Structure 1
Amino acid sequence: MAHVGKPLNKDYKFVELINPIFKKSDRKLEANITVKYLDTVTNMTQLSQYQLILKKTADNWMIESGI
């Protein structure tokens, strides 16, 4: 997993998920996700990539690591 940096403290608006890739193993799910945001100050697009490990609980998927 990549090191997670400090928050940017910017006013980003979520736009969409771009081509998420999921791999399932037992009760865990690895998710490679690119998220598209709009910087509301500059009106520029910001893309952020995340690698998450999700774990199935009783009724939900919870982030186990990656943030």
Structure 2
Amino acid sequence: MKFQLNGTVSDVLITIYIIVSLFYRIQFEKAINATPIQSVAIGISLLLIVWSLIKMKVLNPHWFGLFSSKKKK
């Protein structure tokens, strides 16, 4: 049995994760005087965490209903 979250919970968790990681990323980069290349590398690595959870079907985002889902017949 795989651990899966429904669409609404996934949307909320992804939003919170992105906001918190962006805040801490800005603070961290300011502290170490990061170059633009380092900034991009940090951003990509933080997004890879969310992407991998979506690919493993742990998070199942509904994208707040912005995109219509395909219905199976």
Q: TM-score, normalised by structure 1?
A: 0.20
The structure having more radius of gyration, on CA atoms, is 2
Q: TM-score, normalised by structure 2?
A: 0.19
Greater share of helix: 2
Quick one: higher RCO (CA 8 Å, sep 6+), 1 or 2?
2
Greater share of strand: 1
